[in-house]
Copies of this chain bind each other. A is one copy, B any other.
Amino acid sequence: MVASSTTDIRSQALACRDAARQLAQLSASAKTDLLDAMAAALEADTDAILAANARDLAAATEKGIGTAMLDRLALNPQRLAGIAAALREVAALPDPVGQVTRDDVRPNGIRVQKVRVPLGVIAMIYEARPNVTADAAALCIKAGNGVILRGGSEAIHSNTAIAASLKRALREAGVADAALTLVEDLRRETMLALLQLNDVIDLAIPRGGEGLIRFVAEHARVPVIKHYKGVCHLYVDRAADPALALRLLVDGKCSRPSACNSLETLLVHADLAPSYLPLAAQALAERGVRVRADAVARQWLPDAEPASEEDYAAEYLDLIIAVRVVDDLEQALMHIQQYSSDHTEVIATEDAAAAEHFVHALRSAVVMVNASSRFSDGGELGLGAEIGISTTRLHAYGPMGLEALTVERFVVRGEGQTRA
């Protein structure tokens, strides 16, 4: 059935680009209606989608896939209703397309505006979660983009069923359904061919483990926005409020350890270590968090194992935390600069000058003062929804919302002005 992956994927991508041009012309209200219709289509197709998901789950169980992965893959009526609700939330967001971000009249009288337009065609490369199929499609389409979805093989039946619903809604809105293209040919050479289409695809966003992201970054000729990992730091300054710093520690480490915005390393100012670390040890122990600490910190952390160099670079995504006592703010900054993944760093302090120095000295995507690292998320930061988190410094840096799926271009209006 699949003849030449290179030819097929190129013609699919070209069809997506043509359809994207239709999407780019839709009014804000037409896109809102379209996304609401997509949500309704998912709800109407609940039985078919759950049946497809059952096939994926059966195959995954047969393969002996772990429970964590099975849980990521599993849909049920409640989860599907959640996906539909998320589409309606995206539908209700302000349309970024057409937003004027600059509006100047030049001395010669020409009026220069910068106006947001869609990027064009976005390729999402992702792993087992079928909700990404709907979430990513909704965000791309809301911003007027075509979307090419290349999910994991474990979720292929679920993804196909979800895409079929969403494509029906597109057709019923009079948009060519290639605007949402699900890649069903999951051969590696087809993904490689997709990643070479730099004359058709404007951006690729890989979402998943570091291996997937490195593979995409390694092989792509299309622009890629990467999120490698989140090694998030909490620095408890000499001037920290210990109770506040304890809340940030517990929330940052324990509220969802598998999230990339969870804390992985705690740095504590030497002056505060004797009073703070025993409290931290107790709070962490109560929640089953294992601690790996440097020799100084272990004086107040009786159950801690020694921390190695690797611990400071690790993204545990688990109930484990690395701890180090630092002499001062400068040493904390040096530690963070050395081990940072450019994701999120937090300072707990009541000293405004220390807070500003921390913010100014660090270049991570998100820098926080007296707030939990767990707020490093598109929804929490007010972006409405999030298509990914960029840890590279081009186009977008940090959580990416709808605006990150557009680009600003120039619109100039004159009355016949010339340059010469």
Chain A, residues 382-399, CB within 8 Å of chain B (1/0): the string is 100000000011111111
Report which of B381, B382, B395, B398 forms a contact with A395, defined as CB distance below 8 A: B395
A366 and B412 CA atoms in complex are apart in Å by 7
- Answer yes or no: A117 CB below 8 A from chain B CBs: yes
A120 touches B363 (CB 8 A): yes
- Answer yes or no: A407 CB below 8 A from chain B CBs: yes
B393 touches A120 (CB 8 A): yes
CB distance from A378 to the nearest CB of B (A): 10
Which residue among A119, A370, A371, A395 has the maximum number of chain B CB atoms within 10 Å of its CB?
A: A371
Chain A, residues 323-339, CB within 8 Å of chain B (1/0): the string is 00000000000000100
Tell me the chain A residues, 139-175 only, with Cβ under 8 Å from chain B: none
- Answer yes or no: A359 CB below 8 A from chain B CBs: yes
- Answer yes or no: A24 CB below 8 A from chain B CBs: yes
A413 touches B365 (CB 8 A): no
- Answer yes or no: A310 CB below 8 A from chain B CBs: no
CB distance from A323 to the nearest CB of B (A): 19
Q: Contacts A223-B394, A394-B394 hold; do A367 and B416 have CB atoms under 8 A apart? A: no
A376 and B418 CA atoms in complex are apart in Å by 11
B410 touches A399 (CB 8 A): yes
Residue of B nearest to A117 (CB): B363
- Answer yes or no: A309 CB below 8 A from chain B CBs: no
Residue numbers in B under 8 Å from A119 (CB-CB): 393-394
CB distance from A102 to the nearest CB of B (A): 8
A228 and B254 CA atoms in complex are apart in Å by 50
- Answer yes or no: A414 CB below 8 A from chain B CBs: yes
- Answer yes or no: A417 CB below 8 A from chain B CBs: yes
CB distance from A307 to the nearest CB of B (A): 24
Residue numbers in B under 8 Å from A117 (CB-CB): 363, 393, 397
A391 and B175 CA atoms in complex are apart in Å by 27
Tell me the A residues contacting B by CB distance below 8 Å: 21, 24-25, 104, 106, 110, 112, 117-120, 198, 202-203, 217, 223, 241, 243-244, 247-248, 250-251, 254-255, 337, 355, 359-361, 363-372, 374-376, 380-382, 392-399, 407-420
CB distance from A57 to the nearest CB of B (A): 29
CB distance from A313 to the nearest CB of B (A): 14
A397 touches B392 (CB 8 A): no
Q: Is the interface of A mostly helix, strand, loop or mixed?
A: mixed
Report which of B363, B380, B408 forms a contact with A397, defined as CB distance below 8 A: B408
CB distance from A234 to the nearest CB of B (A): 12
CB distance from A341 to the nearest CB of B (A): 12
CB distance from A272 to the nearest CB of B (A): 16
B247 touches A367 (CB 8 A): no
Report which of B118, B248, B363, B409 forms a contact with A418, defined as CB distance below 8 A: B248
Residue of B nearest to A413 (CB): B369
Report which of B255, B396, B407 forms a contact with A420, defined as CB distance below 8 A: B255
Q: Contacts A120-B363, A244-B416, A412-B366 hold; do A395 and B371 have CB atoms under 8 A apart? A: no
Q: List 29 A-B contacts (CB under 8 A).
A: A21-B337, A24-B363, A25-B360, A25-B361, A110-B371, A117-B363, A117-B397, A118-B363, A202-B393, A202-B394, A247-B416, A248-B416, A248-B418, A255-B419, A359-B411, A365-B409, A365-B410, A366-B412, A369-B412, A370-B413, A371-B413, A371-B417, A372-B417, A375-B412, A376-B412, A381-B412, A393-B407, A397-B408, A398-B410
